[in-house]
């Protein structure tokens, strides 16, 4: 069923929901959500003095369902009972926050964190700051992931964090408690990894390299990567990748393909809707890639522009790529 039908059903249910307790409201919304978006869930932040809720749509960190989260929240109408519809669980104020399960408790101060750069993302090493009974280690590790999700927020944990390792030896490097790590992550993401979220201005900086097959020395992939696009990695409105492939059969085709690329880049960059991420050449196939904010608009512009470049035949496709995996695969 469409997102519009879900929102219409929820809108019609508001008079009944307004009379319910928050737990019952949330259960009712999830009952409405389940047949339409079975991998998503709704959470509520409590009523304020006006008697309204913030409605949070979550995929429980599963990036393969983040597109559904974005589609659903972007299509939300203005609802009297739920005026704010929010994509993903936000960071929680850790403070005294903790988890108790099966007579075992864990709080942010019990988890020590060290971090490092990992292919454009952030790898974590974790230590427990208190003794953990042997039969509770797996339990404690599971609880740690829950605390990480709350401390960093659903989106940042899923998009910005790479491998997470639980360490046994005493840490040889500097660590911080999980309670203070979010600020450390933000600074490292911005200052060290250069993911500033600021759209680059001026001339782009490019890196070029060649990859050769291990089995066939004539099988080569030429890569040009826009290093300036690194600033936008992880930005919550740059989640889609557009790829345009074109076969270069004639000597003038490369020049025409480059002109197409320049014109589409201008159309997208002048409104900061998208940026060229990388270009590859494999055999006689040139692949041009952009990361964009509005996939439907970007695809429409690409298809319309392609009509101006006969007889080239462009294969225009898209992929939901919130982690910029295609772009970061070349980062060591």
Q: Tens of pLDDT along 18-44?
A: 999 889 999 999 999 999 899 999 999
Following CA atoms 109, 110, 116, 118 in sequence, which dihedral angle do they give, to the nearest 10 degrees? -120
Q: Which two tokens stand for residue 153?
A: 């927020």
* Cis upstream peptide for 184 (omega within 30°): no
Q: SS3 string of the chain?
A: CCHHHHHHHHHHHHHHHCCCCHHHHHHHHHHHHCCCCCCCEEEEECCCCCCCCEEEEECCCCHHHHHHHHHHHHCCCCCCCCCEEEECCCCCCCCCCCEEECCEEECHHHEEEEEEEECCEEEEEEEECCCCCHHHHHHHHHHHHHHHHHHHCHHHHHHHEEEEEECCCCCCCCCEECCCHHHHHHHHHHHHCCCCCCCCCCCCCEEEEEEECCCCCCCEEEEEEEHHHHHHCCCCCCCEEEEEEEECCCCCHHHHHHHHHHHHHHHHHCCCCEEEEEEEEECCEEEEEEEECCHHHHHHHHHHHHCCCCCCCEEEEEEECCCCHHHHCCCC
What per-residue confidence (pLDDT) applies to 51?
77
Per-residue pLDDT at 97 exceeds 80: no
Q: Tens of pLDDT along 240-271?
A: 999 999 999 998 999 999 999 999 999 999 99
Q: In this predicted structure, which of 2-6, 38-42, 146-150, 177-181 has the lowest mean pLDDT?
A: 2-6
Higher-confidence position of 94 and 122: 122
* CA-to-CA separations, 164 to 35, 67, 176, 330, in angstroms, rounded: 33, 24, 15, 21
How many CB atoms are located within 10 Å of the residue 196 CB?
15
Mean pLDDT value across residues 80-91: 95
pLDDT band at residue 2 using 50, 70 and 90 as cut-offs: confident
121-128 and 161-166 strand pairing? parallel
What per-residue confidence (pLDDT) applies to 48?
63
Q: Tens of pLDDT along 166-207?
A: 999 888 889 999 999 999 999 999 999 999 999 999 999 999
What per-residue confidence (pLDDT) applies to 6?
94
Mean pLDDT value across residues 296-316: 96
pLDDT band at residue 238 using 50, 70 and 90 as cut-offs: very high
For the chain, what is the mean pLDDT? 94
Mean pLDDT value across residues 106-126: 96
C-alpha to C-alpha distance for 332 and 215, rounded to whole angstroms: 22
């Amino acid at each position: 069923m469409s997102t519009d039908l879900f929102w219409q059903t929820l809108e019609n249910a508001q008079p009944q929901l307004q009379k319910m307790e928050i737990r019952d409201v949330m259960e009712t919304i999830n009952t409405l959500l389940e047949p339409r978006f079975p991998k998503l869930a709704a959470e509520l932040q409590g009523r304020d003095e006006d008697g309204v809720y913030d409605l949070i749509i979550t995929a429980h960190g599963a990036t393969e369902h983040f597109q559904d989260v974005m589609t659903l929240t972007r299509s939300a109408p203005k609802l009297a009972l739920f005026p704010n519809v929010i994509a993903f669980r936000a960071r929680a104020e850790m403070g005294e926050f903790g988890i108790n399960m099966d007579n075992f408790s864990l709080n942010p101060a019990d988890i020590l964190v060290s971090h490092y750069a990992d292919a454009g993302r952030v790898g974590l090493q974790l230590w427990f700051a208190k003794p953990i009974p042997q039969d509770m280690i797996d339990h404690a590790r599971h609880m740690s992931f829950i605390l990480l999700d709350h401390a960093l927020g659903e989106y940042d944990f899923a998009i910005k964090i790479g491998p997470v390792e639980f360490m046994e030896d005493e840490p040889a490097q500097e660590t911080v408690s999980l309670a203070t790590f979010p600020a450390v992550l933000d600074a490292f993401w911005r200052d060290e990894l250069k993911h500033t979220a600021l759209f680059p201005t001026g001339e782009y900086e490019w890196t070029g390299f060649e990859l050769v097959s291990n089995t066939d020395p004539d099988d080569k992939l030429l890569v040009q990567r826009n290093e300036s696009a690194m600033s936008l990695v992880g930005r919550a409105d740059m989640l889609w990748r557009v790829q345009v492939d074109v076969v270069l059969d004639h000597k003038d085709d490369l020049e025409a393909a480059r002109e197409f690329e320049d014109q589409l880049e201008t159309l997208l960059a002048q409104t900061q809707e998208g940026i060229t991420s990388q270009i590859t050449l494999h055999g006689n196939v040139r692949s041009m890639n952009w990361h964009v904010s509005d996939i439907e608009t970007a695809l429409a512009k690409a298809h319309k522009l392609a009509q101006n470049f006969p007889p080239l035949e462009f294969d225009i496709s898209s992929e939901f790529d919130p982690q910029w995996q295609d772009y970061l695969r070349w980062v060591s």
